[in-house]
Amino acid sequence: MGNPLGRYLLTLSRLWGTSLAMQFEYQANLLLEVVAAVANLLGSLLLLSLFYGGGRALGGWSWPQALVVLGVYTLLEGITSTWLRPNLSTIVGHVQQGTLDFVLLKPIDSQFWLSTSRISLMGLPEIATGLGLMIWAAGQAGIRITPWLMIQTLLMLVASGLLLYSLWFLVSTTSIWFVKTWNATEVLRAALSSGRYPISAFPTAVRRFFTIVLPVAFLTTVPAEAMLGRLTLPWLLLSLMVACIGLALSRAFWQFALRFYTSASS
Amino acid sequence: MRNTAFSSRAVSSRALRSPKVRPLQSLQHGWRVARALFASQYALMLEYRAEIVLWALAGMVPFIMLAIWIESPAGAALGMGPTQLARYFLAAFVVRQFTVAWVMTVFEEDALQGRLSPMLLQPLHPFWRYLASHVAEQATRLPFVALIATLFFLVLPWAFWLPTPQRALLTLAATFLAFVLNFLIQCTMACMCFWSDRVNALERLIYIPILFLSGTAAPLDAFPPALRRLAEATPFPLLVNFPAQLLSGGEVQIAAGFTALAIWITGLFLLMTLLWRIGVKRYGAMGA
């Protein structure tokens, strides 16, 4: 038990074990979630197809190429339901009821605890359909999947997942001040829904916004470019850098926010 | 365990609701109840203004879709120029702001945490309370929506338009009816709480056709004909597409739209009442 990494891993396995045990109480939910994943995918396909009638293309992306972007988006949605929402949506409740005190007193990093203590099976159908769509659509686009391509894509997906986490965590942290902002993450989710489409489908000003201010481009378009084998090295490095900056920011912002936490009813 | 004593009291509370009074008196009573409910809910909503602003912002999907539609040649192929597209999606945003319903979320929470039990004892159907809170929330939203619309016209001044007085009135009526329809859809599904402890997965499910078929993401004119007919067989396009087309001055079958609204509202109201009657008898009061 002397080694901190071992301690963290052991805690994590216990937490996830109880989390999963709790989920199996509600099996009907999981079935509905499969239906929801399929319906969501059909809806997204329908919407995307509206831009492709009559031989038109969307922002210079062919139909199978745009499907890769949609696959990445679906995968990220799944990650959100499996990992981000179950954890980060509890922060606001902790602040409101004052139970954040207990989290802060635990002999474990508070950001780690709040970000990882739960895991949900709800996103698995979407993770599976997202990955499936990515691979299938890349095949349709004439891409031969080489090991190097896979490494690249995986790396970009990890970077995109970490960036997504940072955004969620930054937004959830604001509840230290605003207490009842359950909807802050809904705003983020609505904004991120722009990631269903390749970034070049947007007008220039909007494109800049979604690259620099709210880095949606790095969430879905960049991993899709990697999967299609046309990601240049500068973009790969930039994407990794953005993810690191996001993580560092989320860390710094959490520690800054804690200085303002005064516990409930005090 | 099911608490039969409890539900029988809930049933007897229904008798309380129709005391033998003259119609005028009961009308006055109803008005007083409505005013008190609205005033208290409005005060409550004002407390959470920041949250409501966020919620309103969460309805930005039409603006994202507008950006793509303007850039894509598909808009022009549809016969909708940038001006008409901009007007349509702004109208869709506004309409959505005043048709949002979240009965399922609150009802599930109230049922799970046992708050529903005291509400059933009151001589007032719980759904009236939810209705008041929805209307109060819309009133809180009003200034914010006006602000967004102003900003929209500052960014895209060429899209500015004022609907004709006739269209404005029709939009008001259609939006209100669309809200009632959405509220009833949610109430009907909320009644499922009596059979299942968790309806949030069901709620996620109902948002999917609302997003894709209502006209939030694309005007229904853009759908291929077969799909359009399919969408029009559901109540969802009535929620956004119909009022938004009215507001933005697009071509729309006015009489058919209002007839469909009336039919869906009546049907769902009857279904909801029936489900509630059966469901409330099954209600076991959480924790009893």
User: A10 or B89: whose pLDDT is higher?
Assistant: B89
A6/B contact by beta carbon, under 8 A: no
Interface of A with B in 144-173 (CB under 8 A): none
C-beta pairs of A16-23 under 8 Å, 24+ apart in sequence: A16/A118, A16/A119, A19/A86, A19/A117, A19/A118, A19/A119, A19/A120, A20/A119, A20/A121, A23/A120, A23/A121
Chain B residue whose CA is closest to A182: B51
How is residue A71 written in tokens?
């696959």
Q: Is the pLDDT of residue A163 over 90?
A: yes
**Mean pLDDT over residues A83-95, rounded?**
86
Q: Check CB contact under 8 Å for B67 and A181.
A: no
How is residue B44 written in tokens?
């409550």
Q: Per residue in A213-227, pLDDT tens?
A: 999 999 999 999 999
- Distance between CA atoms of A27 and A10, rounded to whole angstroms? 27
Reported as a pLDDT band with limits 50, 70 and 90, residue A263 is: confident
B77/A contact by beta carbon, under 8 A: yes
Contacts for A49 with CB less than 8 Å, ≥ 6 apart: none
The pLDDT assigned to A205 comes to 93
Mark the ranges of chain B whose per-residue pLDDT is less than 70: 1-22, 197-198, 285-288
Reported as a pLDDT band with limits 50, 70 and 90, residue A122 is: confident
- Distance between CA atoms of A108 and A14, rounded to whole angstroms? 14
Give the distance from residue A202's alpha carbon to the nearest chain B alpha carbon, in angstroms: 5
Q: Check CB contact under 8 Å for A46 and B50.
A: no
Q: How far is residue B230 CA from its own chain's centroid?
A: 22
Interface of A with B in 50-79 (CB under 8 A): 50-54, 56, 58-59
Which of B48, B52, B64 to probe the A interface (max A CBs under 10 A)?
A: B64
**Mean pLDDT over residues A155-159, rounded?**
96
Nearest alpha carbon to residue B90 among B34, B146, B37: B146
The pLDDT assigned to B21 comes to 54
Which of A22, A24, A27, A29 to probe the B interface (max B CBs under 10 A)?
A: A29
Nearest alpha carbon to residue B214 among B54, B112, B39, B88: B88
Helix and strand totals (H; E) in chain A? 14, 0
Cross-strand pairs, A61: A58
- Distance between CA atoms of B152 and B93, rounded to whole angstroms? 11
Q: Which amino acid is at B110?
A: D
The pLDDT assigned to A36 comes to 87
CA-to-CA separations, B263 to A200, A224, A245, B207, in angstroms, rounded: 43, 46, 55, 22
A182/B contact by beta carbon, under 8 A: yes
The pLDDT assigned to A265 comes to 58
Sole residue written with tokens 């860390």 = A251
Give me chain A's average pLDDT, please: 89
Helix and strand totals (H; E) in chain B? 15, 0
- Distance between CA atoms of B200 and B211, rounded to whole angstroms? 17
A178 chain-B contacts, CB cut-off 8 A: 50-51
Helix axes A147-173, A233-258, angle to 10 degrees: 20
CB A108 within 8 A of CB A136: no
Q: Per residue in A175-208, pLDDT tens?
A: 888 766 567 788 888 999 999 999 999 999 999 9
- Distance between CA atoms of A220 and A79, rounded to whole angstroms? 13
A50 chain-B contacts, CB cut-off 8 A: 74, 218, 222-223
Whole-angstrom distance between the N-terminal and C-terminal Cα of chain B? Answer: 6
B288/A contact by beta carbon, under 8 A: no
Q: Check CB contact under 8 Å for A187 and B57.
A: yes
Reported as a pLDDT band with limits 50, 70 and 90, residue A243 is: very high
